[in-house]
Amino acid sequence: MLSKINKEYIHLFAKRLLILVTVILFSDSCHVFHKKYIIPEKKLIQVLVDIHIADAIAMIVPYSDPENVPDSAQVYSALFKKHNITRAQFDSTMAYYTRKPEKLTKIYTEVNAILNKRESDIVAEGEKPAAEKKIVIWQDNKIYILPQMGKREKIEINIPISKAGVYTFSAKIKMYDDDQSVAPRVTLFFWYDNGTPKGYREYFTSTPVLKNGQADNYSVSRQLTNPNITHIKGFVLDHSNPDTLFAKHAIVSELKVFYRE
C-alpha cells in the first residue's frame, strides 16, 4: 500500500501542493506571518504524512457508489480536525515554509523517511512467518553512543558470509532531532574483491533513519545468489553531508544478522 503512496501518488500530491501554494502566495503576497498561524515543523510533518496516506488510499481503494466518493476537501477537513488545526493555519504554514525552501526541503525529507519506514515495517510484518525460520549468525552487543564515541561515526559493518539464502540485518536506533546528519540511513551491500578499488557490490534497499528521539527497530534484507560474494559490508548510520563540520546524536544497539535458506 505505502509503495503505491510513494510511486503512484507523490506526483499528483506534488502537483496539488504546488497549485495550493501558488494560490496562497498570490493571495497573501503582502501577508505578515504570525507565529500563532504557523504549525510547528514536527506537527506539520505528521500532518503531511497523513495527507499523503489518506489521498493515496482514496486513489487506490474502489468505492461501490461513485457518487459517495469523498472529495479532497472532506478528507483534509477530517485530518485537520484530527491534528487540531484549521485549513487557514495549514494554508498560512505552507505559504510560510515555501518562502523558506531549505526548511521545506528538510520537512519533506522527514516526511519521505517516515513513509519509507512505514512501508518497510509493513513488509517486515508480512515476512514474519518466514522470520521464524531465521537464525542469528552474527551479533554485536556493543551500545554505540554518538557523539561521545565519534561525532560522525558511521558504524561500519564487515561480516564474512558464504551460503546462498536470505540475509537480514537489524538494529535498534534512536536518533535525536538535533542530529546534523543529512539523509541518515542504513546502507549495506554484498561484497567481494574483484580487483577494483571499491570491489563488487550488490546493495540492500537503503533504509532511512528517523530523527524522532525514539528507539525504533530498523531492518534490511536481501537474497544472496551470487557464489562469489564473501562479505556483507556497509554502514549503520550512513550520511550524505558534504563536509565534516557536523555531529551526530544517536544511540545504536542490538546489531544482528539473521540467515534463512
Q: What is the pLDDT of residues 48-105, one digit of tens each?
A: 888 888 777 666 555 444 555 555 666 788 888 888 998 888 888 888 888 888 888 8
The phi, psi pair for 151, rounded to 5°, reads -60, -35
pLDDT reported for residue 99? 86
Alpha helices in the chain (DSSP H): 2-4, 10-27, 41-60, 72-82, 87-98, 101-126, 128-131
Q: How far apart are CA 98 and CA 43, in angstroms?
A: 16
For cell 554502514, the residue is 235
Q: How far apart are CA 180 and CA 240, in angstroms?
A: 11
pLDDT classification of 196: cutoffs 50, 70, 90: very high
pLDDT reported for residue 139? 93
Q: Residue 113 above 80 pLDDT?
A: yes
* Closest C-alpha among 170, 139, 144 to residue 249: 144
pLDDT reported for residue 91? 87
pLDDT classification of 132: cutoffs 50, 70, 90: low
Q: Tell me the CA distances in angstroms from 26 to 21, 23, 148, one per residue in order.
A: 9, 5, 48
pLDDT classification of 131: cutoffs 50, 70, 90: very low
Q: Which residue has the higher pLDDT, 5 or 227?
A: 227
pLDDT digits (tens, 9 = 90+) for 1-54: 444 444 444 444 554 554 445 444 444 444 555 566 789 988 999 898 888 887
Q: How far apart are CA 190 and CA 202, in angstroms?
A: 5
pLDDT reported for residue 206? 85
* Closest C-alpha among 70, 45, 74 to residue 59: 70
Q: Residue 143 above 60 pLDDT?
A: yes
Q: Residue 110 above 70 pLDDT?
A: yes
Q: Which residue has the higher pLDDT, 232 or 120?
A: 232
pLDDT classification of 123: cutoffs 50, 70, 90: low
Q: Tell me the CA distances in angstroms from 235 to 54, 57, 169, 212, one per residue in order.
A: 34, 34, 11, 20
Computed over every residue of the chain, the mean pLDDT equals 81
Q: Residue 107 above 50 pLDDT?
A: yes
pLDDT reported for residue 164? 95
Q: How far apart are CA 97 and CA 25, in angstroms?
A: 11
- The SS3 assignment for 225 reads coil
pLDDT reported for residue 106? 86
Q: Domains in the chain, please, with CATH?
A: 2-126 (no CATH), 133-260 (2.60.120)
The backbone region for 48, taken as left when phi is positive above 0, alpha when psi lies in -120 to 50, beta otherwise, is alpha
194: its cell numbers: 574483484
Q: How far apart are CA 92 and CA 28, in angstroms?
A: 9
CB atoms near residue 247 (< 10 Å)? 14
